[in-house]
Every structure is written in structure tokens, then in C-alpha cells.
Amino acid sequence: MTVTRNENNDIVITVPGDTDLKSIEKSLNYLIYKELVKGSKGTQEDADKLAAKVNKKWWEKNKHRFLSDEDCN
């Protein structure tokens, strides 16, 4: 593996062709995540509260798909 910069000052990572694509994808997703949150002022607690709120709304909207009509009420 090599890491270099090109003429535009972009970072270029070269990996062997037989490298596991899933591992590369996971690594790239992490880098994308880090880029997206680098200026965030939110805390983990804020993220947890938002996730709980979203999950609750999703469940209320979709529980009929998993439970009988009797169980939904």
C-alpha cells in the first residue's frame, strides 16, 4: 500500500488488487464519517437521543408489519 499526494494536493491511496474490498469499503466509510462530523458540535448523548426518537417514530409507523392488529393497539 502507498499513500501519496497528487498535483491537486489530494491524498491518493493505492492498495494491491487482491485486497479485500469489504475492508476497504469499511475504511472509506469511516473516513467519510470523520469528514462529515469534523465540525459537529453534537455529543454522543445528542446522537443517542436523536436515534431513540427516530427509532420510536419508525416503530410506530411500521409495527403493523411485524405484529398482528391486536398487538398494535
- Alpha carbon 70 to its chain centroid, in Å, reads 36
Residue whose grid cell is 409507523? 61
pLDDT reported for residue 73? 64
Task: Name the more confident of 39 and 69.
Answer: 39
- pLDDT of 72 > 90? The answer is no
- Alpha carbon 48 to its chain centroid, in Å, reads 14
Reported as half-sphere exposure (CB side, CA atoms, 13 A), residue 21 has a value of: 1
- Alpha carbon 72 to its chain centroid, in Å, reads 31
Q: Say if pTM beats, i.e. exceeds, 0.85.
A: no
pLDDT digits (tens, 9 = 90+) for 26-63: 999 999 999 998 989 999 999 999 999 999 999 999 99
